Amino acid sequence: MTLEGRYVGLILAICSSLLIGISFVVTKKGLQNSSTAEHGRASDSHRYLKNPVWWIGLIVMVMGEILNFIGYTFAPAILITPLGALSVIVGAILGSVFLKEKMGPIGIIGCLLSVIGAVIIIFHAPEDPDVQSVQELVAYMLKPGFLVYGILVILIVVGMIWKVVPRYGKTKPIVYLSICSLIGSLSVMAVKAFGIAVKLTVAGNNQFNQPSTYIFGFMCALFILVQVNYFNKALDLFCTNVVNPIYYVCFTTATIIASAIMFQGWNTASLTNTVSLICGFLIIFSGVYLLDMIAPLSNRQRRLKKKRRQQKKRYH
């Protein structure tokens, strides 16, 4: 890749992170506008689908993801991926300004630890091979390691939706965000395969006469719908400053693990990279634990503020 291409990729990645960070705050605002005292949370009945502010947030997020996807074609992943941490910083700043969300010292430490751990993992993660065809990617996906991973993810997600969500979903942000991240690790592979199919078709090698192309397209739509649904539930219940960093680190970690299993990247990892990865995971777990710990407290503070506003309205 040329030096000019790297600069283009970096600019696209920075713009992508800015848009994604903004989208979290706009989406949250749309969810708040859709929530009412009579009907409860917007995410419980999907009322946010009727709110234009929520749709603006979703469109901004899609634009950010598209720029990020294009950025990978200009610069290597090791330069692009760490810049995703900017979306956490942008979301935290805008959340404190427009949503009046305060993190406090524990939240700030948790956010910093999460981002630092994620960046360490990104820099030391095994590199993916340069896949040039859908058939090549399908061959990787059909290997026993990734098949077992995919089946485990589906079983874990179904188990969480059935047993864990009803019990802990409204008090622990990690529950909804784990579902998003695990499904997201599969959706990334499906999007990659569908993207290769589109790229080859545009180049003159039609891939839409292959059943696998339609299967990957269906998987993309299904997985993304699940992600959007549970991400909105998390964002509706918890502060942006808690949801954003937890989602970033969980999604990044799950994607790296899925990719390493599929391409068998662990076999080529050096001792230094292995130790660095372990340290990165430990730092991430510490940061996510702190953020998960303050989530109920921030929710309690938000409910108290809401009650005070309602009481003031009654008196006036």
Please check the confidence at residue 201 and state whether its pLDDT lies above 90.
no
Output the pLDDT for position 9: 78
What does pLDDT average to over the chain?
82
For residue range 134-183, list pLDDT tens digits in order.
Answer: 888 889 899 999 999 999 999 999 999 999 999 999 888 899 999 999 99
Q: Report which of 153, 23, 158, 46 is spatially closest to residue 98, judged by C-alpha positions.
A: 23
For residue range 35-94, list pLDDT tens digits in order.
Answer: 764 456 766 777 888 899 999 999 999 999 888 877 776 766 666 767 777 888 888 888
Listing DSSP states for 241-278 in one string gives: HHHHHHHHHHHHHHHHHHHHHHHTGGGG--HHHHHHHH
Distance CA 170, CA 181 (A): 18
Q: What is the pTM for the complete model shown?
A: 0.81
- Cα 258 versus chain centre, distance: 14
Angle, helices 240-263 vs 3-34, to 10°: value is 130
